[in-house]
Amino acid sequence: MPNFQQIINRIHSDLKATKNTGEVADYIPELGKVDGEKFGIYLNNIHGDNYEVGDTQVPFSIQSISKVFTLAMAFASQGNELWKRVDVEPSGNPFNYLSLLENEEGIPRNPLINSGAIVVADCLVSTLKNPKEDFLQFVRGLAGDDSISYNLEVAESERKTGFRNYAIANLLKSFDNLANPVEDVLDFYFHQCSLEMTCEQLSNSFFAFANHGKCMKNKQCLTEKQAKRINAIMLTCGFYDEAGEFAFEVGLPGKSGVGGGIVALLPNHYVITAWSPPLNPKGNSYLGMQALEQFTTETKSSIF
C-alpha cells in the first residue's frame, strides 16, 4: 500500500513552495476576506484510517460542494421524477451560465451548475418541513458531526450580490420550472452554499459516496443507487467547463466550490479533500487541482 502520509506531505510542501497564480473569489464580498495562504489536504480511506497535512481543521465556505448534498436529498425524496426537471449532461460552460437554459426550455443541463442546483433547491423547499434546518441535519448526519453550521454573513453577502442567480431563478420561473417564490428558493440556496466545513468534515461527509451509501458509522445514509448515480454526475459535471480536464488529469468523481475546496473519491477506497482558496480562471482551486492530480498519479489510484 502507498505511504499516504508521506505522499500528501510531499505534495503539500512542494506546492506550497510554488507560485500560486490563482485568485481568491470576491464576487461574493464575504468570501474575499479569507486568507489565501491556507492549504490543507485530508484523506480518509474506507478502512477508517485518515491522513492530513496543513490547514485541515479550519472551517471554510463549501459553496457549490453543497450541491452534492442537496442533490442527494432531493433524489432520495423524488426518485427518477427529479430528472424531468433537471438533466444529467455535462454543460461545458461556466457554473453561472444562463444561455443554455434559454435554448433548452428551462431544463438545466445538470444539478451541479447553479441553474440545476436552484431547481433542486426548489424541490427541497417544496418537500421539507423546515428546509434550512432539515438540510443542516442531513449534512451533519452524513459527516457525523453536529458542529457544522451556516455562515449567515456569507449567505447575506450573496443575497445582496447574487444578481446572476436571481436572473437564473427568474428565467426558471418563466419556464414554469420553479414552484416556489424566487426569494424563498434563493434564500435556501444561499444558505446551503454558506455552509462551513473543514477538510476533515468534508471528507467524512463524502464517505458514503465512496462506500455504497454507508456512512462512517456503517449506517445506510444513502442507497447504493443514489451513491452510484451521484458519483457519475460528479465525474461528468462536478467541475463545470473543467470537468473534462479534471477527469483527464485526476480521474475521480469530485466536486469543487468557489471557497477553494475540492472533494474527490475513489469508490471502495478513499475520499480526499484539498482546500486552497485562490482559484484558477475556471473557478476551481488552483493548488487543489494540482494536489489531486499529483496524488492520483503517484498512488496510481484513479478510476481509469
Which residues have a Cβ under 8 Å from the Cβ of 229 and sit 6 or more positions away?
A: 75
**CA of residue 241 relative to chain centroid, distance:** 15
Task: State which of positions 80-99 bind ligand DON (CB under 6 A).
Answer: 95-96
Please tell me whether residue 277 binds ligand DON under the rule CB under 6 A: no
**CB–CB of 76/226 below 8 Å?**
yes
Please tell me whether residue 115 binds ligand DON under the rule CB under 6 A: no
**Can you tell me which of 158, 200, 242, 293 binds ligand DON, judged by CB under 6 A?**
158
Residue 240 backbone zone (phi > 0: left; psi -120 to 50: alpha; other: beta): left
Helix%, strand%, coil% for the chain, nearest 5: 50, 10, 35
**CB–CB of 94/144 below 8 Å?**
no
Please tell me whether residue 63 binds ligand DON under the rule CB under 6 A: yes
Other beta carbons within 10 angstroms of residue 102's beta carbon come to 11
The helix (run of H) or strand (run of E) holding residue 43 is strand 40-45
Task: State which of positions 190-209 bind ligand DON (CB under 6 A).
Answer: 193
Please tell me whether residue 64 binds ligand DON under the rule CB under 6 A: yes
Please tell me whether residue 258 binds ligand DON under the rule CB under 6 A: yes
Least CB distance to ligand DON at residue 48 (A): 30
**Can you tell me which of 114, 204, 276, 299 binds ligand DON, judged by CB under 6 A?**
114
Site string for ligand DON, 6-45 (x = CB under 6 A): ----------------------------------------
Residues acting as catalytic residues: 64, 67, 189, 240, 258
Nearest CB to ligand DON, comparing residues 216 and 230: 230
Question: What is d(CA 172, CA 98) in angstroms, rounded to the nearest whole number?
Answer: 10
194 labelled ligand-binding: no
Q: Going edge to edge, which strands form the sheet with 195-197?
A: 60-61, 195-197, 149-150
158 labelled ligand-binding: yes
Which residues contact ligand DON (rule: CB under 6 A)?
A: 63-64, 95-96, 114, 158, 165, 193, 256-258, 283
Binding-site residue numbers for substrate are 64, 114, 158, 165, 189, 240, 258
